[in-house]
Amino acid sequence: MPVYIDPNFAQRLDSEVLSALSDWAELHNRSYRLERWLDNGRSRQPVAYVAETDHAARSSRRLIMKVPDPPAGPIRDLEYGRHSAAVLHGGDFSKSHLSTYAYDAVPCPGRRWITFQYVVGQNLESTEPLTVLLRRMLGVTQEGDDDRIECDPETFARACGNVVAGVLGEWAGKPYLLEGPNGWTVPEFFRRHLFDQLEPGGRLYEWLSRYAGDEIVLSDEPSPLPNPFAVAQGRYFSDSLVLRPIVGKSHGDLHTDNALIKVRPTVDPSAYYLIDTALYEAEGPLTRDPTHMVLYIIARVMPMALDSPVIQSRLIELLLDPVSGPRHHVPSWLWLVIDETERAANEWIGPSGFAPLWEQQRWLSLAACAMLFLGRTSTREQDKPWFLRLAARAVAKFADAHPDKRAAISGHANRHQATSAREWVGWLCRDLPAVIEAAREVGREDEAERFRADALSGLDRSAEYRDFVRKIGGPDPGHGRLGTRGSEGWAEPDEYVCPADRCARRERRPPSGKIPECHLEPTGRRRLKSSLD
């Protein structure tokens, strides 16, 4: 009697999956032996390369077995259903670049289903994820990598460009716009990237709670920028701004781990296969896939190649303007990648005449995809401010193209809140060194630092700040020695004000004294500017 499930295979399957698979295998007189696990280290879903033997037909073959996570919503949102739709809609592209299912999905408890797919390209051993080529190009070695694989920057960039060209030109087809009542608001456009991550319990909910204002102040930017969280929630632009999104068949989670490239016997950047289509959409925003893939590459290499603040600043400028941006200030291999993916997109959208529309929607996708990386545990904490800055700069670029669509602040309560926020930020900016010193003496330094973060994010915490200063032994901030706008009237000509216009602080320079400094900057103090400038 055959052993239906290889013990090495069985030991990593939970009891419910093992029971369902064992019964199904026995029913069909098929056995499964583990070849190897295909986990990428970031997914809890069991994925295995298995050898299947059909004893009745006396035939054997290799398949990919996967147990996707249960869907949070309707069962039709299961990866099996989405991938089946992707194959059905894909035509010749599916035959060349997507795998197909060997059987209908096998049900098991907990709204889970076991799936079996044919091996893409009929030979899994001939492929590697595009991430492996990225590491080989950069000379970075990871356990399990084949050090015989060689990849230069031009080859890697061409592979990225080929994937984007195929996804847009072959899979999505011709550019197609949703118009009229079927258009999307800006929040809807963001929702098609972020899904439910802004909801309570979502990955971005804490970020949303922290950045509650319409604008955001960042230490590396000279002036306030639109708050991408306010934009995503619909608070920044008026309801009259309706997009005509460029939509079509889209992968939904395109990145270098989900693109396999043929590397044996030699690297062939034109031979690629896409996997993990759990977020496939028949009418998804087409700017999302190429944008997400480029940002994924940046996130992977940030620790090893993009740690310089100068390079990071120039990279934002290049992403916002790939044609005229400062390409020679970033690593040459990276601007090659950006150039190849941008070229592929332009060659696809150009003949339609909708390149300007594509560019504006690409800015929104840059913002939304950058926000995705804020919520991921795989993103280093020290890299998240860069992604937040990119998101804010991208929505600012979009806002500049729609200057008449900014939502007006209406109502006395909102105006009062805006004034109150500027005043308490001015108090904190003036007194922060003394506040931190006093807080340190009573073990509350972390709370003082949190007030700094909240001030930079635009939150109004004036009442909590007054209470905090009182509890650590300080005077009422509103009656300090140096006032803020609204408490001491308009300034004399020799006064100094906030250089970023983030708060209402105004101070006179003491005779023969130093120019007053802003104390909120986390990366170092910055002088206030003269009110005469």
Lowest mean pLDDT among 42-51, 94-103, 286-295: 42-51
State the pairing for strand pair 506-508/495-497.
antiparallel
Task: Write down the pLDDT at residue 207.
Answer: 92
pLDDT of residue 421: 63
Q: Which residues contact 113 (CB under 8 A, 6 or more apart)?
A: 67, 68, 78, 80, 105, 106, 107
Residues pairing with 495 in the sheet: 508
Q: What are phi and psi of 322, to 5 degrees?
A: -65, -20
Per-residue confidence (pLDDT) for residue 112, from 0 to 100: 92
Confidence band (pLDDT; 50, 70, 90) for 392? very high
pLDDT at 206 over 60: yes
Q: Outline which parts of the chain fall under CATH 3.90.1200.
A: 126-405
Q: How far apart are CA 338 and CA 346, in angstroms?
A: 12
Average pLDDT, the chain: 87
pLDDT at 408: 61
Helix (H, G, I), strand (E, B) or coil at 302: helix
Q: Determine the pLDDT at residue 419.
A: 55
Tokens of 83: 């991938």
Residue 356: pLDDT above 70? Answer: yes
User: Higher pLDDT residue, 507 or 384?
Assistant: 384
The residues of the chain that CATH labels 3.30.200.20 are: 7-122
Q: Residues 131-169: pLDDT tens digits?
A: 999 999 999 888 878 888 999 999 999 999 999 999 999
The structure tokens listed for 125 are 């051993």
Give CA–CA dist 326/217, Å, rounded.
24
Least confident range from 104-113, 377-386, 456-465: namely: 456-465
Spatial separation of the C-alpha atoms in residues 78 and 72, rounded to whole Å = 9
Average pLDDT over residues 178-201: 90
Would the pLDDT of 485 be above 60? no
| Token code pair at residue 404 | 């008449």
Q: How confident is the model at residue 490 (pLDDT cuts 50, 70, 90)?
A: very low
176 pLDDT higher than 60: yes
Residue 533: the pLDDT is: 65
- For residue 109, pLDDT beyond 70: yes
Residue 491 has pLDDT above 70, yes or no: no
Fold exhibited by the domain 126-405: Aminoglycoside 3'-phosphotransferase; Chain: A, domain 2 (3.90.1200)
Q: What percent of the chain has pLDDT over 70?
A: 89
- Residue 338 CA to residue 340 CA, distance in Å, equals 6
Q: How far apart are CA 256 and CA 258, in angstroms?
A: 5
pLDDT, tens digit (0-9, with 9 covering 90-100), for 263-286: 999 999 999 999 989 999 999 999
**341 Cβ neighbours under 8 A, 6+ residues apart:** 160, 161, 164, 290, 293, 294
pLDDT (0 to 100) of residue 38: 82
pLDDT band at 129 (very low <50, low <70, confident <90, very high): very high
Q: What letter would DSSP give residue 482?
A: S
Q: How large is the average pLDDT for residues 180-189?
A: 87
Which is more confident, 523 or 89? 89
Q: Are 343 and 161 in contact (CB under 8 A)?
A: yes
Give 11-30 pLDDT, tens digit per residue. Answer: 999 999 999 999 999 999 99
Residue-wise pLDDT for 298-328, tens only, equals 999 998 888 899 999 999 999 999 999 998 8
479, pLDDT greater than 80 = no
Burial of 139 (0-12, 13-18, 19+ CB in 10 A): exposed
526 pLDDT above the threshold of 80 = no
**Does the pLDDT of residue 483 top 70, yes or no?**
no
Looking at per-residue pLDDT, the higher value among 444 and 338 belongs to 338
Q: Give the model's pLDDT for residue 285.
A: 98
CB neighbour list of residue 271: distance below 8 Å, 6 or more residues apart: 121, 261, 262
Please tell me the predicted confidence (pLDDT) of residue 458: 63
pLDDT at 459: 67
Instruction: Report the alpha-carbon distance of residue 52 to residue 196 in Å, rounded.
Output: 38
3-class DSSP state of 256: coil
The answer on pLDDT for 492 being more than 60 is: no
Q: Give the pLDDT score at 44.
A: 66
Q: How many CB atoms lie within 10 A of CB 17?
A: 21
Q: Is the pLDDT of residue 358 over 90?
A: yes
Does residue 494 surpass a pLDDT of 70?
A: no
Instruction: Pick 502 or 163 by higher pLDDT.
Output: 163
Highest mean pLDDT among 39-48, 94-103, 220-229: 94-103
Mean pLDDT throughout 463-476? 83
What is the pLDDT, as a whole number, of residue 486? 37
Give the per-residue pLDDT at 264.
Answer: 92
CATH for the stretch 7-122? 3.30.200.20
Q: Is residue 334 predicted with pLDDT exceeding 90?
A: yes
